[in-house]
Amino acid sequence: GAVVSQHPSRVICKSGTSVKIECRSLDFQATTMFWYRQFPKQSLMLMATSNEGSKATYEQGVEKDKFLINHASLTLSTLTVTSAHPEDSSFYICSARLAGGVNEQFFGPGTRLTVL
């Protein structure tokens, strides 16, 4: 149980285009999902918290107009990198929170974005 999928696993795009990444909880409902970014040799850094049916909460320094998050259902959150530039190239990974207890998070496999 508690499986999270993420699609695509890898994407290469031209500068100026937009890229959408999907995160799905396959066997549980997730009212809260999270989006992280990891640069080489650094830790996973929280970008934003996505709540079903409401606006996402962004961490300091993360541009909300650049990284659009939609959490339209209890099993799906999407991250759209708008007008991508080479500096947006990174590894993006989502997680879904299992409510109750110690609020454990279950992670997708991540998406490697390369912007040319």
Partner 1 sequence: ILNVEQSPQSLHVQEGDSTNFTCSFPSSNFYALHWYRWETAKSPEALFVMTLNGDEKKKGRISATLNTKEGYSYLYIKGSQPEDSATYLCASTSGTYKYIFGTGTRLKVLA
Q: In 57-100, which ranges are continuous DSSP H helix?
A: none
Select from 1, 14, 41, 65 the one that contacts partner 1 (CB under 8 A): 41
Q: Which two tokens stand for residue 93?
A: 């990974």
Distance CA(34)–CA(93), nearest Å, equals: 8
Interface with partner 1 in residues 9-38 (CB under 8 A): 9, 32, 34, 36
First to last CA, the chain: 37
Q: How far is the CB of 29 from partner 1 (least distance, A)?
A: 16
Under the binding rule (CB under 8 A), the answer on residue 58 touching partner 1 is no
Select from 31, 68, 82, 107 the one that contacts partner 1 (CB under 8 A): 107
Q: Which is nearer to partner 1, 14 or 41 (CB)?
A: 41
Q: How many residues does the chain have?
A: 116
Under the binding rule (CB under 8 A), the answer on residue 96 touching partner 1 is no
Buried b or exposed e, range 36-67, using 16+ CB within 10 angstroms: bbeeeeeeeeebbbbbbeeebebeeebeeeeb
User: Of 14-22, 23-31, 68-76, 99-107, which segment contacts partner 1 by CB under 8 A?
Assistant: 99-107
Select from 1, 14, 43, 100 the one that contacts partner 1 (CB under 8 A): 43
Under the binding rule (CB under 8 A), the answer on residue 4 touching partner 1 is yes
Under the binding rule (CB under 8 A), the answer on residue 69 touching partner 1 is no
The contacts of residue 102 (CB under 8 Å, 6+ apart) are none
